[in-house]
Amino acid sequence: MTEDSKTFIIGDIHGCLDMLKRLVEKIKWDPAKDKLIFVGDYIDRGPDPKGVVDYILSLMAESSGIQCLIGNHEVIFLDYIKGKDRKLFLMNGGMNTLESYAFHLVDTEDDLLPPSHKEFFASLRYTIALDDYYVVHAGFRPKVPLEEQDPDDLVWIRDPFIYSTYDFGKRVIFGHTPFYEPLIMKNKVGIDTGAVYGNRLTCLELPEFRFHSVEP
């Protein structure tokens, strides 16, 4: 990254492909020098989960500066197609994802995912460390060292993290829990603004600490 490069962090998308495309166009991300980070939850509930993954893959073909986190919806999707906790996935908007991939009841991952998508889901990370921030899907368990955090907490935690004033060493940028406006606290910044629920899809630009958003 160059001295004038920027980092853009985009909140939970949930299959809202049109909003994602408009947001990427709005922020004027430069694939040659800027970082683009996604906090997870690309799929489920919205109209085009597969299209969202296809679009992110197309962006990754343009730039090596894209990093993608895993969200709880990716975790339960991968469990579903391995035959685990299928009801949990379907109860959380999973049918939209299955219909988007044009499959319904499948037994193995190979039956459902194109190779590029299989590689994408396998590559997703739990945390990203920036100079002054950590980026994670749901949050951290207070008073637990980062290297000892439970992966389930990283994608599922809510109240113990959100209501905590604990200093995690860096300010934490997270999604997972939707807010009408970005949540801004001394120790954390929540950027899930409920795009799939009729609100906005939000991006945080660093180092300027500027928010960008688009409406449905």
User: What is the residue-level pLDDT of the chain in tens, covering all 216 positions?
Assistant: 566 899 999 999 999 999 999 999 999 999 999 999 999 999 999 999 999 999 999 999 999 999 999 999 999 999 988 889 889 999 999 999 999 988 644 555 556 788 999 999 999 999 999 999 999 999 999 999 999 999 999 999 999 999 999 999 999 999 999 999 999 999 999 999 999 999 999 999 999 999 999 999
pLDDT at site 183: 98
pLDDT at site 72: 98
CA distances from 123 to 62, 63, 145 (A): 17, 16, 24
- pTM, 2 dp: 0.94
pLDDT at site 105: 47
Which class for 57: exposed (0-12), middle (13-18), buried (19 or more C-beta within 10 A)?
A: middle
pLDDT at site 83: 86
SS3 content of the chain, % helix, strand, coil (to 5): 35, 20, 45
CATH of 7-214, one of 3.90.850.10, 3.40.50.10540, 3.50.50.60, 3.60.21.10: 3.60.21.10
